[in-house]
Structure 1
Amino acid sequence: MAILTSSGRAAVAASIKAMPLHLAWGAGLPSWDATPEPEPVLATALQSEIGRRELTQALFCVPDANGEVIVPTGRFSISNEPTNNLYLRFNFDFADAASSDIREVGVFVGTVVKSGLPPGQKYFTLAELQQHGQLLALERLPKFSRNAAVRQTFEFVITF
C-alpha cells in the first residue's frame, strides 16, 4: 500500500500555498449559540457566508515549543524550506462586515473574483465571485459581533 511521504505532504502544502486563498466568514445559524454543532467534514461552503478576505500571509512552519507562531493547535517556528505545515494569516479591514454577527469561518482555495472590480480590492461578497473555490478548512466559533473599531485577524496552521 502506498503512503503519502513527508516530502509529498510538503509538496501538497506548497501547491496549496501557490493558489489563491481567502478566508470567508459567515453568520452561521443562531441555534448554534445554544447548542454548538461540530464542523461537518463533508461541508463545501459556509452555512451563511457574509464575505471573504484575500490571504495576507502564507509561510511554511515547523512545530516548536518556543516558536513565535501560536495557534490553538500549538506553537510553530517559520521555516524557509517547504514543510507539511502551512501558516496562514488573514487581516480583515475595519469596515469588513461591520456590525455583523460571526459564527463561522472557512479557508477557501481557488476562489476566482469577477473581472471589472476595483484594483486592489481584497474583500469580496458572494456576488463578486465568479467561482467560490473549494473549502479547505472550516471552523465554527462562539458568536461575536463585528465592530468597525476592530481590525480582525485570523491565524491558522494547517497540517497536510
Structure 2
Amino acid sequence: MHYFTAKTDKIKLIQSHFQNLISHEITGYGLPQCMFAESHEWEDWMDLPLRLVFGSHTLSISWMRCGDLAIASGNYRPSRLGTSKVRWVNDGIESLSPILGMKLKSVALGYKKDEIYDDGTPSWQHLILTSDQNLSFDLYAAGDENAFKIYTEKPDIKTCICCS
C-alpha cells in the first residue's frame, strides 16, 4: 500500500476509490487481528488495514504516522509479520453493525479543532463516510493505528467533501 500525506493527494486517492461507490451499500467489513508468537491468543491489531466491502468490491483502508492515508482495492495483506499470524474478523462486531446496509451518500476528508499543527495547518486525518440516512462512519488516525467511530448526528469535524 502506498501512503499519502498531502491533503490534495489524499483527496485524489479518496476520489479514485470511492467515486464509483456512491449510492452503493456497505455489505461487509473486516477488522484485523494478530496472534503473536508469545501470547498464542488473537488480539485486535488496528495497525493493519480495515476492509470495507461494497458488494463484490473490497477496499483496504489504513492510516499511519498520525495522518498518512492509504486505500487499496482488494484484500490487502502485509508481506511480512515475522512469526505472527493475521486474520480479519468479518462482520459480527456489534459496534460496527450499524454500517451494514449503509448506502453511501458522500465521502469526506476531515479534521477536528484540536488537530492542527503548530504552523496552523490542519491535520487531515479523518475519512468520513456518510449514508443517505445521515449516519457517519469516521475512520481516523489514532496515533499510528486505525480507529473508528459511528455518529448518528453530524460530527463536530471540519470536512472537505471529496465525492458525493
TM-score by structure 1 length? 0.29
Larger radius of gyration: 1
TM-score by structure 2 length? 0.29
Bigger relative contact order, structure 1 or 2, given CA contacts below 8 A and separation 6+? 1
